């Protein structure tokens, strides 16, 4: 009740007088940590996090249910609220960056979908996976492109090794990042995806799907047509294979760090990281 009503001093007194109380118990489907976020009592959230540093008993990844029946861990709640300080506090305390809600969404998915470039950058730099898929097999990148979010976010996800070949369970061209980048007429992202590398067959498939979908952006269609009709250079094939292999082996985490750890000349690492 003290958390719900926002009585900061009362919460502080409880923490001091009952340091061993179990704060992980669900009350109406939510922990006190999640309740402090739902009610936007960020000062109480801070108290609980500082208490957690000392006691090490607060479980940071327990999913709670809010009034809209969203079932999610605190890091996703903080991210959805664009509460950067809260996300940082949770990450520093050891919260799982890839914890998911009841739809399989991660904090990075939420930050990408809600156009929060600062959180996208922060989560990736701290080890969040760019390849974690939700229950519909969508990565943060594919979701960002279907909702036509900022190019800054989609570019960041691509540069950090996001899967470019669409869900493995689907063979539809309409379920690929290239299709959605082309459909939204974002030629900058189309070029970046082509630079990172795709099989010629997939480029051709996307080109055909765009024509069938009635998309007539001449510049993009011409670019795709020239790409699949011209055999890729050996170095381009190597870049695609190496990027895909590294991304899969590191599960989409710390991609650039893993590329830079390869025993290769600097100029080759720059080529692999699209610099």
Query: Which of 1.25.40, 1.10.10, 3.40.50, 2.40.128 would CATH assign to domain 1-70?
Result: 1.25.40
- Map out the domains of the chain as residue ranges: 1-70
Which comes out higher in pLDDT, residue 34 or 17?
34
Q: pLDDT tens, 82-103? A: 999 999 999 999 999 999 999 9
State whether residue 182 is helix, strand or coil: helix
Q: Looking at the predicted structure, is the pLDDT value of residue 11 above 70?
A: no
Residue 19, pLDDT > 90, answer: no
Residues 42-62 have a mean pLDDT of 87
- pLDDT of the residue at 52: 79
Tell me the pLDDT band of 28, cut-offs 50, 70 and 90: confident
**pLDDT confidence bin for 2, thresholds 50/70/90:** low
pLDDT value, residue 1: 63
Q: Residue 164: CB partners within 8 Å, gap ≥ 6?
A: 141, 158, 176, 177, 178, 193, 196, 197, 198
- Cα dihedral across residues 69, 70, 74, 79: positive or negative: negative
Q: What φ, ψ does residue 27 adopt, rounded to 5°?
A: -115, 110
d(CA 39, CA 49): 16
Say what the pLDDT of residue 171 is.
60
Q: d(Cα 42, Cα 187) in Å, to the nearest integer?
A: 41
pLDDT of residue 112: 97
Cβ–Cβ under 8 Å, residues 243 and 226: no
How large a percentage of the chain has pLDDT more than 70? 94
Residue 134 CB-density burial (10 A; 0-12 exposed, 13-18 middle, 19+ buried): middle
- 52 vs 162, higher pLDDT: 162
CA-to-CA distance for 75 and 122, rounded, in angstroms? Answer: 13
Q: What is the mean pLDDT of residues 138-142?
A: 95
pLDDT per residue over 112-123, tens digit each?
Answer: 999 999 999 999
């Amino acid at each position: 009740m003290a958390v719900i009503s926002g009585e900061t001093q009362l919460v502080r007194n409880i923490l001091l007088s009952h340091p061993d109380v179990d704060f992980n118990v669900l009350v109406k489907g939510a922990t006190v940590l999640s309740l402090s976020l739902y009610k936007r009592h960020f000062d109480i959230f801070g108290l609980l996090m500082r208490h957690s540093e000392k006691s090490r008993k607060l479980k940071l990844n327990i999913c709670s249910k809010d009034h809209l029946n969203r079932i999610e861990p605190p890091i996703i709640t903080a991210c959805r609220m664009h509460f950067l300080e809260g996300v940082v506090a949770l990450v520093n305390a050891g919260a799982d960056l890839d914890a998911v809600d009841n739809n399989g969404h991660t904090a990075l998915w939420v930050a990408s979908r809600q156009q929060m470039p600062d959180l996208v950058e922060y989560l990736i730099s701290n080890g969040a996976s760019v390849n974690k898929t939700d229950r519909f097999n969508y990565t943060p990148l594919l979701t960002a492109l279907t909702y036509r979010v900022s190019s800054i976010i989609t570019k960041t996800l691509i540069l950090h090794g996001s899967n470019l070949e669409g869900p493995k369970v689907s063979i539809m061209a309409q379920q690929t990042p290239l299709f959605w980048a082309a459909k939204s007429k974002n030629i900058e992202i189309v070029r970046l995806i082509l630079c990172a590398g795709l099989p010629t067959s997939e480029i051709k498939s996307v080109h055909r799907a765009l024509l069938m979908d009635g998309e007539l952006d001449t510049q993009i269609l011409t670019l795709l047509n020239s790409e699949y009709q011209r055999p890729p250079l050996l170095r381009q094939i190597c870049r695609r294979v190496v990027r895909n292999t590294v991304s899969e082996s590191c599960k989409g985490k710390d991609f650039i760090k893993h590329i830079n750890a390869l025993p290769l000349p600097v100029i080759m690492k720059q080529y692999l990281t699209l610099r």
